[in-house]
Chain A
Amino acid sequence: MTDGYTRFVRSAPGRTIAKQLGLPRPSRLLRREDRPEPVLGPVVVLGRSAGADAITSLLLAEGVDVRRRFDELRTVGSVVAVLDEVAAPAELGEILLPLAGAMRSLAPGARVVSLSRPATGEDPARDAARGGVEGWLRSLAHEMRGGGTANGVQVADGVPLDAPSVLGALRFLLSARSAYVDGQILTVDGAEGSAPADRSRPFAERTVLVTGAARGIGAAIARTLAADGARLVLLDVPGAGTELARLANELRAVPVQLDVTSAGAGERLVAQLRERGLVLDGVVLNAGITRDKMFANMTPDRWDSVLAVNITSQITLMEALIAAGDALGPQPRVVSLASTSGIAGNAGQTNYATSKAGVMAFVAALAERLRELGGTANAVAPGFIETEMTARMPPLNRELARRVSSLRQGGLPVDVAEAIAFLASDEAGGIHGQTLRVCGQNIVGR
């Protein structure tokens, strides 16, 4: 899936030319199969708070090589900067500056993760320090080399640093599963959730529905969840029925041919679930289409079809699943597909961006509703991902879209799938209404 330019600059002559011309040189991103170890060691935990001590103990207990200083380390795999107790901006330097001298020692695919608290409006100096973390983190992500990433976890006051979702988010961001997540800050606002019994099969005994599953990102989501032990219900339009059946055969999943925009689609899905005795622990609302056109040329069929599939179907499907009473498990996890276009906007995609911005607001509201049921709703916003859909973009736009991220390349469907798998896991029970970008820190938007 590596693009032509990237292949070229990785060749010997390409490397020389790109170096002399100052062209971007994308590094090979290490994914799950390239780097199976959950944490790249040695890990340096920065910070002197009780939280920092707790994180250190937890990592040590898992057999990770953990240090509190950079002394004499020739390479550093991961850095966790624990900033939960900073009270003023002046305190940040003391904790963070030791990393400056170690930046050149970071291993390829290194991870920097900050743990901090959100500004609350209670204490101006403390808020300034807390807010400052974001600026440092996002800038550091731009400076990371060799496929390394920098991300943060923002933990609401009152939620301990060893809450399941904080540790889950930390593990996800330290792992190779977050290869294309960069420069992002994920908020944990609850202590809910639980660590899986078996880390190699976090979805064992769990049933997850994936819509739009027949191909592209949907198929990658299905494969990733299946590899993590999930039992799957795969849904797609009847026209893609045979592709869906073949994926279902491969993953031993239940195929459901259904046009999510058709009248009564939600009720028909509920009926099929009941018929097979299935209860959903997770719902991945992935079905989506693009019908790009400049707004001046926008037609009702292009506008309406995009909104119908990308957002309205999500609303009606979730309404039906919640109303059924027996379709969702005790702690349902809903993950929806947003897009960086919905955050930053994109010329030619007014319809698409409207639907995707709608998704982000929808999951925030849905999260409130599901919280009462013990569940969560979140979204993932992919940036430029190498799919059949983006392969149809004009070549120049496509090339530009790949290079304007910190990682200087497009992501793969599996990168989106990994983020979804994390948000759909038991561990992520304390994350509500968030949109996590999987964009390699694309320059557009926040």
Chain B
Amino acid sequence: MNSSPRDALILGGNRLPFARANGPYAGISNQDLLTAALDGLIARYGLQGARLGEVAGGAVLKLAGDLNLTRESALGTPLDPRTPAIDLSKACATGLEAVVHVSNRIRLGQIDSAIAAGVDSTSDAPIEVSARLRRILHRASAARSTADRLKALAAIRPADLAPVPPRNGEPRTGLSMGEHMALTAAQWGITREAQDELALASHQHLAASYDAGFHDDLVTGYRGLSRDQNLRADSTLEKLAGLKPVFGVKSPQVAEPTMTAGNSTPLTDGASAVLLGSAEFAAERGLTPLARVIDARSAAVDFVHGDEGLLMAPAYAVPELLDANGLTLQDLDVYEIHEAFAATVLATLKAWESEEFCRERLGRDGALGAIDRTKLNPLGSSLAAGHPFAATGGRIIASLAKHLHARHVETGTVQRGLVSICAAAGQGTVALIESVA
């Protein structure tokens, strides 16, 4: 284990039930969603008036005016207004990066307590004006005379007025994330059945954990929603098998498209927040530490030139993280691998099982090997819960910490959990946490 100046402890979390895009949270801003998630966390842990070390958070789909989204959200809560805040952004890894950021600061003794948060609303995604219209408007605004201004504005053509919605694709390849994943899935030979089975398990695990009351102190209801809207407790393999493939259907490299709306994550709205602190902070506040943040790594792959699949960065980051901490893949008790697509999880696992991949790509002696699949996403993951981009890291960290703590109390042994999140632009962030009891 890495020796660290002191522990960064995960003390609890709160999130909103995740809603499907244009559903119950339609028309609600990122700031409102994040404020709501923070309010619930503050109420749960009695943080009214508390001056914390930092609130770190962010959103992926962010309006230009939201430059201080996290600070503005925190100011709307009963936290002491002297609590500093920072906005972070790294696509789908934003939430986990926020956890890593504040835990590093706690470990270094820069701060004693923090909230790591994330929010996204695909229902309120920014819509911009075209680059040409923007340049014309700037030119008109800089003009000194009315005549010059009119001259500048006269350059506007009807086509310039069309709004520009957020880009649903990689800027350097033009392919959407789903199309990229379809290529990787085909390359690794991930079957439709395996993907549907993983999706079904996600729904079943999440439904079971809700029924067991596991989320009672992790989720605060919002706008009449008390469970994740995407959760289908009654889903079956037959229903999933009936869905039409949506990604890879036009791609010549994909012989048989396998990715459907059932085994891909839907667009979602939601927010999450995690409370972290030092042992002293926890004791002062009478809070029970659940887990400590051990270490984290990030990696990136060259998907632009086709060297590696877009969402495969975690396959590289995890072995590095394990090596740094003297662990093998099988030393872990729980694996939380973010289900961007069922195929993402399966391709990653398959890569670790592949002698060829591990020798040639990772430069190791042999494969990392297979994992015990009963330890994979035991509480359900993004396929069932949904995936409001920046909120996913917080969802995973809070529920995993609670789960590891409960298992530690039950078994009397330290429980280790791995969190792996892939992100747009060929990036990935992974983290290791360990139970405290």
**Residues on A facing B (Cβ under 8 Å):** 237-242, 244-246, 248-250, 252, 255, 257, 268
Cα A240 to Cα B78 in complex, Å, equals 19
1/0 per residue, CB under 8 A from A, across B350-374: the answer is 0000000000000000000000000
B78's nearest neighbour on chain A, judged by CB, is A249
- Are A245 and B42 also in contact (CB < 8 A) when A252-B48, A257-B216, A268-B213 are? yes
- Are A242 and B221 also in contact (CB < 8 A) when A249-B78, A257-B216, A268-B213 are? yes
Is B222 interfacial (CB 8 A cutoff)? yes
A255's nearest neighbour on chain B, judged by CB, is B43
Chain A residues in 8 Å Cβ range of B213: 268
Is B46 interfacial (CB 8 A cutoff)? yes
Chain A residues in 8 Å Cβ range of B46: 252
Cα A252 to Cα B221 in complex, Å, equals 19
Chain A interface SS verdict (over half)? helix
- Are A239 and B220 also in contact (CB < 8 A) when A248-B43, A249-B78, A255-B44 are? no
Q: Can you list the 6 inter-chain pairs with the closest CB atoms, starting with the nearest?
A: A241-B221, A238-B226, A245-B43, A241-B220, A238-B221, A248-B43
Chain B residues in 8 Å Cβ range of A237: 221, 226
Cα A239 to Cα B226 in complex, Å, equals 5
Is B112 interfacial (CB 8 A cutoff)? no
1/0 per residue, CB under 8 A from A, across B1-25: the answer is 0000000000000001000000000
Identify which of A238, A242, A257 gathers the most chain B CB atoms within 10 Å of its CB: A242
**Residues on B facing A (Cβ under 8 Å):** 16, 36, 39-40, 42-44, 46, 48, 77-78, 213, 216, 219-227
Q: Are A249 and B221 in contact (CB under 8 A)?
A: no
Select one of A238, A239, A249, A268 contacting B43, CB under 8 A.
A249
User: Smallest distance from the beta carbon of B34 to chain A beta carbons, Å?
Assistant: 12
Cα A289 to Cα B356 in complex, Å, equals 63
User: Smallest distance from the beta carbon of A287 to chain B beta carbons, Å?
Assistant: 15
Select one of B39, B44, B48, B221 contacting A240, CB under 8 A.
B221
Q: List 28 A-B contacts (CB under 8 A).
A: A238-B219, A238-B220, A238-B221, A239-B221, A239-B223, A239-B224, A239-B225, A239-B226, A240-B224, A241-B40, A241-B219, A241-B226, A242-B16, A242-B36, A242-B39, A242-B222, A245-B39, A245-B220, A246-B39, A249-B39, A249-B42, A249-B43, A249-B77, A249-B78, A255-B43, A257-B216, A257-B220, A268-B213
Q: Are A241 and B216 in contact (CB under 8 A)?
A: no
Q: Are B226 and A245 in contact (CB under 8 A)?
A: no
Chain A residues in 8 Å Cβ range of B44: 245, 255
Identify which of B16, B42, B220, B225 gathers the most chain A CB atoms within 10 Å of its CB: B220
User: Smallest distance from the beta carbon of A50 to chain B beta carbons, Å?
Assistant: 52
Chain A residues in 8 Å Cβ range of B42: 245, 249
Cα A248 to Cα B48 in complex, Å, equals 10
Identify which of A237, A239, A244, A245 gathers the most chain B CB atoms within 10 Å of its CB: A245
Select one of B40, B216, B223, B225 contacting A245, CB under 8 A.
B40
Identify which of B16, B40, B43 gathers the most chain A CB atoms within 10 Å of its CB: B43
